Structure 1
Amino acid sequence: MQREFCIGSVPVMSQGEGVRRVGEVEEFKALAHPLRARLLGALREHGPATATELARRFATDTGSTSYHLRKLAQAGFIAEAGDPGHPRARRWQAVHRVNEWSAVDMAATAEGREASAIMRRQQVDILIRDIEAYEAALGSLPAGWIDASGVGDLLVRLTPESVNMLWARFYAHVDELVAQDAADPAARPVSIVVAGLPRLGEAS
């Protein structure tokens, strides 16, 4: 089971209702579009916004942004948010905090494999952007954050069952820590990108 928050963002516990299980390939394809994923991530991280506000954030035109927001709404990822202060402005909000899907189900069709590939590469792009931003800010970051931050890689021998156990324990522990730090003023958004892939093409 794979989970993601969304492109370029970090979970905010107050946004959305929890976990959305993406079961259909068409739903996953709607989520895997690069701009839609970033729009959804922004709504989760920063709260409700209009198409104009999101277009300004991502340097896109309002018409295109509106179209992709409607596609996300049709797939059930976002919904209109009432705004008493601006009754004529259509504001959108995220419906769920995170998404999850079955990698096996998505790999069963060519469309699912293509959408999964797009999603994986977007998640790698998150890591690259976050590394570049981190390196640019190193001169001004507090020592505690420099000490806590990092990127690591391991090569270990595990069964598929053990890898799935690792995913389950990892997500459960992250949820525990997010809840623990929810009211701590020292907490700040932290981008976490994880991967677990079999090393292929080498002797076992």
Structure 2
Amino acid sequence: MMEQYKISDPRVLKAVSHPLRVRLLGLLRSDGPATASELGRKVGESSGSTSYHLRELFKFGFIEEDDDRRDGRERRWRARHDYTSWDAGELSATAEGREAVRIMHLRQGEFVGRVMGEFDPDGWSRDWVDVAGMSDHIVSLPPAGVREFNDRAAQLLRELAAKYAGDPEARQVSAWHGAVPRSTEEGS
């Protein structure tokens, strides 16, 4: 069972939506515990910058010190949760919350763009190249249908992760699903 951190305070959502913090938290979740220096090398930032942002993530409960340190000179950090969620409707009840949700949606889009841009088919097998990518579908659904889509997609991913656990060809993959309503002006 994946552990989640459910945000209900717009200040917490805004704090984690900083571009570098999103990347650091994602790296700690995907690659495991690391020091500020190790993370700095991965993201091309100084250890001072990554240290500051790690302390902010710690302050808001996203990460914690890792007890399994390599040496006593530098703190190792680990993510406290597998993923972060929030109730956009609840947070959007205030102007501050609407702004925090908007910023986080932008960060999510930037992340997807960065990950897709970093994928280079060179060096991957034909099987991986064939399945890598995205598609978009334009369908008409009510909010209940979008909620069902999200729930079923998440459940399917959990089932497939369990089914293929231990498969020698398995690799970490970034998988996304999402939906936003189109404005009436789009496509007109």
Give the structure-1-normalised TM-score: 0.84
For structure 1, the residue ranges without an aligned partner over 5 or more in a row are 1-12
**Alpha-carbon deviations, 1:1-54, whole Å to 9, x = none?**
xxxxxxxxxxxx9xxx61111121122112111111111011111111111111
Number of positions where the alignment pairs a residue of Structure 1 with one of Structure 2: 187
Is residue 66 of structure 2 the alignment partner of residue 81 of structure 1?
A: yes
Of 141, 154, 171, which residue of structure 1 is paired with 2:137? Answer: 154
Is residue 21 of structure 2 the alignment partner of residue 36 of structure 1?
A: yes
RMSD: 2.0
Of 131, 138, 148, which residue of structure 2 is paired with 1:165? Answer: 148
Aligned to 2:97: 112
**What is the identity, as a one-letter code, of the residue corresponding to 1:190?**
V
Query: Within 5 A, what are the aligned runs for 1:40-51?
Result: 40-51=25-36
Cα deviation, residue 165, structure 1: 0.9
Whether the 8 Å contact between 1:32 and 1:116 is mirrored in structure 2 is no
For residues 123 and 43 of structure 2, the distance between their equivalents in structure 1, rounded to whole angstroms, comes to 26
Mean CA deviation greater in 25-34 or 117-126: 117-126
**What is the identity, as a one-letter code, of the residue corresponding to 2:19?**
P
Cα deviation, residue 100, structure 1: 1.1
Cα deviation, residue 84, structure 1: 4.9
Whether the 8 Å contact between 2:64 and 2:77 is mirrored in structure 1 is yes
- Kindly report structure 1 stretches of 4+ aligned residues shifted beyond 4 Å: none
Structure with larger RCO (C-alpha < 8 A, sep 6+): 1
For residues 69 and 137 of structure 2, the distance between their equivalents in structure 1, rounded to whole angstroms, comes to 51
Mean CA deviation greater in 45-54 or 110-119: 110-119
Give the structure-2-normalised TM-score: 0.90
**Alpha-carbon deviations, 1:111-146, whole Å to 9, x = none?**
222222222222222222233233xx2243211112
Aligned to 1:65: 50
SS of the counterpart of 2:141?
coil
Are the structure 2 counterparts of residues 140 and 60 from structure 1 closer, same or farther at C-alpha, using a change threshold of 3 Å? closer
Identity %: 42
Is residue 165 of structure 2 the alignment partner of residue 176 of structure 1?
A: no
Whether the 8 Å contact between 2:69 and 2:75 is mirrored in structure 1 is no
Whether the 8 Å contact between 1:49 and 1:91 is mirrored in structure 2 is yes
Mean CA deviation greater in 105-114 or 45-54: 105-114
